Amino acid sequence: MRIAFLGTGRMGTELALHLLPRHQLTVWNRTTERTARLAEAGAAVARTAAAAVEGAELVITSLFGPPAVRETVLEPGLIPADVPWVDTTTVSPADAEEFAAAVPTYVAVPVVGSLGPARSGALGVYVGTPDEALRAQVLELVAPWADPERLRGVDSARRAAVGKLLANLALAVSAQGLREALALAEATGVCAEDALEMLGGTGLAFLAGMKGPFVRGERSTEGGDFTADAIAKDARLMIDTVQDGERPGADLPALRGALASLDAEIAAGRGEDDFSTILLPGAERTGG
């Protein structure tokens, strides 16, 4: 299949690499240098998004949030008639409904996980569209990205968007919980290594295991798997979704706490660091 792949950042590049052995890819990114790995792997590189889409049988987007989707795809009317549009961008349920109304072939395909699972083809992946035939086609296409037990077809773009936001809410709130657990441990004279071990039998065990290498200094937060900028952007989508929802006065106070921690790191110049930067004492942080 001839596929146009728009958006070759950290995650987009990993997703596109899985498709190259099976499909003919033309890739585009606003910063051309970020297409280099894919060009070396055999993808064609287009100078513009419109050029990438020309002649494509399917378009995939992996962009940084809803505004980028509107600017790149909707405003120029980029998707040709009857060409499926597979959007892996994290968007709100309202955004997903808007995009599906504008382009009938829109399929929301948010991915759940970071760069490690992306490289190994073990992401969670939602495929959301009411078109059953199109859903089946896209499920087959994106299977190389996914843990088979976490590849889920759902009946709307909105539902796929909700699934992704729920996953990232759990991640952000757990990170804030781990931050506070480490602060409590430090206040009682327990070192971070011992605290991580103690958390092994708790609800924070998964995140403590995943982010333990950053806390122990075995990995730098520079060039990390999931940036503070990215998860903060997703947290704002969640808060806006609740505020605009059907339950008056609803809020997400735990998520707001996580966002405050993330925003402090971003303000200090660490937005491009892995979001585990919120877990580190100031002297141990990198990249800022």
The domain ranges of the chain are 2-155, 163-284
pLDDT of residue 286: 45
pLDDT of residue 282: 60
163-284, CATH topology level: N-(1-d-carboxylethyl)-l-norvaline Dehydrogenase; domain 2 (1.10.1040)
pLDDT of residue 287: 40
CATH (residue range 2-155): 3.40.50.720
- Which residues contact residue 219 at a Cβ distance below 8 angstroms, ignoring those fewer than 6 apart? 213, 274
In terms of C-beta density within 10 A (0-12 exposed, 13-18 middle, 19 or more buried), how is residue 33 classed?
exposed
Low-confidence stretches of the chain (pLDDT beneath 50):
283-288
Exposure string over 167-185, b if 16+ CB within 10 A, otherwise e: bbbebbbbbbbbbebbeeb
DSSP 63: -
pLDDT digits (tens, 9 = 90+) for 228-283: 999 999 999 999 999 988 787 889 999 999 999 999 999 999 999 999 999 998 63
Nearest to 226 by CA among 93, 137, 116, 124: 116
pLDDT of residue 288: 39
pLDDT of residue 227: 94
